[in-house]
Structure formats: C-alpha cells, structure tokens
Amino acid sequence: MIDEILKRAENGKKLDNEELFQLFSVNNAEDLKKLCETASNIRNKYSKTIKLTSTVHITNKCQVQPRCKYCGFAAKTSRDGYYNAFYKTDDEIRQAAKSIEEARVPRVSCSGGHGYKGKQAVHAAEIVKGETNLELLINVGADLTENSTNKLAELNTDTVCCNLESTNEAIFNNVKPGETLQDRIDVCNQVCDAGIELSSGLLLGIGESDEDRLNHLLFLNQFKTLGEIPIMGFNPYKDTPMENHPACPLDLQLKMVAITRIMYPKIRITVPTPTIGPKNVEYSLNAGANNLATVIAKNYPLEVKGVGSPTYGNLEEVVSVIESLGLTPQYL
C-alpha cells in the first residue's frame, strides 16, 4: 500500500500530508524496511558522505527551574549523568577541541546549560573558531540573546542548535516546565535572522502523537536557515522525574529519520549516538541519517556523559560501521 507513495518520493515528488501520514502509520517490519531503503536511496542520490560530530560540554550548571523532567545532564539530576557541577576552563575546552582536530573529526558541538545569556557559547566559539579548523555547532538551548547570537555569527559559528523537542505545547510544558516553547521558537528565528544555519530537532517518545510529529516537521520548514534536524529518542535517566517513562522504541526513531529524509531530501539529519545507542548507529544510517553526533575518539581528554543517555559512540567503531555500509566518513 505504501509502495506507490515511496515510488513517488524516490522520484522526487513532494508528498502531500495525507501521503506523509500514511508513512507515519507504517507498523510492520517489511514496510519499515522499504521506507528506510527509500530514505537512504534519497540521501545517497545527493551524497554518501557521513558527517561526524564530536562534543565539548561547556557547563552542566543550568538555571532552568523546575528542571526539564528528562534531564540527566544538569548538576545533581542523575547519578548516571555528570552529577557534580562543572564549568570547563579555557584550557579544558582548548585541549578537547585540539584532540578532536587531531583525531580528524571535522565538527564539534559545544553545549551547556542556561543562565549565561550566551556568554558561555561566545567564549567557546572564540576558542574553537580562533584556534582550530573545526566546524562548530553551538547548543545552549534558548539561552541566547540577540547580541550573543550576532556575536556567534561574527565568529563564523557554522550552526546554532535550538531543539523545540515537541511543538505540541501541552507536551512541551509537561516535560520542560521551566521553559516556554515560544522562547525556543524566538531563538530559532533569532538564529535565522543572524544568518547562521539553524539546527532544530525532535525528542521522540515523550507522549506526542504521529500528528504532533508531522506537524512539528512541517513547522520547521518556516525557518529559512534550517540546515539540520536532530532526531532524538527519549531514554530515561536514573533519578529523574521520567526515570520510569519507557524509552523510545528504535523502530519509531528509524521511521522518523526516514520520513524526515523524505520530507527534507538534502538536509543534515543528526542522530546522537547516546540517544540511538551506539550499537544501533548502523540502522540510523540505513534509514537516511547523514550526521552522527557525540562521536568520541580515544585521545579525548575529558569524561563524557552523553546528553539523553550516559553512553556515546567511539570514533573507530562508528567509522567501521559507516565504511561497512559503503558510505564515506567525512574527515577534517
């Protein structure tokens, strides 16, 4: 039944909402396989190169209160997370960025908690863009003013990420009671106005419906510099208010990667290795993803706890999976 729709998608036809909705209702292994094959064929038509993104966590001190219910990143939220508060020194950021460059990983994500009006982000950008050749993604959520966003643009920051997580406001308010959806949308617009590429993603498995997911993907189309969509599956972090909430099934994450690829053929689709689980990276690539995040090389000097789960992907293992699928890892 979905064969005709997939054929149209592979031939470059734009699917209408009804057709897209039928793809959301895929619920058996055979159709999911077809959906993923179509999506990876579409990705391969444009490029078989897979980007790798490493990470520097600037600080886990976050002023958002109440805490996001799923957060295991901020200080004292989870015994499986960082738990103790930290704020990386300039030297720690510098050494981590240099180690990423030495490992020839082309891109780094610098992320951190709220409460600094973007100063922590600007400072990290000065170090990374001033002292390395790395591409830089900044993710400090909605903690950016117009002034700090413009400074990030002046520093040639390649991408700023502000995830909306869910555009269903009731769900957003439930899982992020210390923030507002509108603040995050405003920051997305601010990033676009500053002329910086926007990354904005979905957190799956937090109570949203297929309709919410489709509406969210359609909503993102309004952002004129949108260049990247992270697809993140919820994982419960111990000790958090959502520790007993079920993890997002892998099939749902793959279906969403594939549908996002069909809707946005040329966009960078990011799968963080902590949220998909390092052993599942292969499936996400087979569903049309083309960026793997939180990829850590052996020479990395700092402790890393993935955002979304404490695990992460090891560079050597991730590269061997990419190559085994006939794809090309992008090196610096």
Residue ranges that bind ligand SF4, judged by CB under 6 A = 62, 64, 67-68, 71, 73-74, 113-114, 141
Smallest gap from residue 288 Cβ to ligand SF4 (A)? 27
**Rg of the Cα atoms in the chain:** 19
Q: Can you name the residues that pair with 159 across neighbouring β-strands?
A: 137, 197
Contacts 24+ apart (CB under 8 A), 21-24: 21/210, 21/211, 21/214, 23/255, 23/258, 23/259, 23/262, 24/210, 24/213, 24/214, 24/255, 24/259
Rounded to whole angstroms, the Cα distance separating 142 from 161 reads 9
What residue has token string 């910086």? 196
Smallest gap from residue 175 Cβ to ligand SF4 (A)? 9
Task: Rank residues 11 and 84 by Cβ distance to ligand SF4 and give the closer one.
Answer: 84
Task: Rank residues 73 and 300 by Cβ distance to ligand SF4 and give the closer one.
Answer: 73
Segment (H or E) for 193: helix 181-193
Smallest gap from residue 196 Cβ to ligand SF4 (A)? 20
Rounded to whole angstroms, the Cα distance separating 327 from 288 reads 11
Smallest gap from residue 105 Cβ to ligand SF4 (A)? 24
Task: Rank residues 112 and 288 by Cβ distance to ligand SF4 and give the closer one.
Answer: 112
Smallest gap from residue 66 Cβ to ligand SF4 (A)? 8
Helices 90-102 and 119-131, packing angle to 10 deg = 40
Task: Rank residues 73 and 312 by Cβ distance to ligand SF4 and give the closer one.
Answer: 73
Task: Rank residues 71 and 125 by Cβ distance to ligand SF4 and give the closer one.
Answer: 71
Of 127, 119, 117, nearest in space to 90 by CA: 127
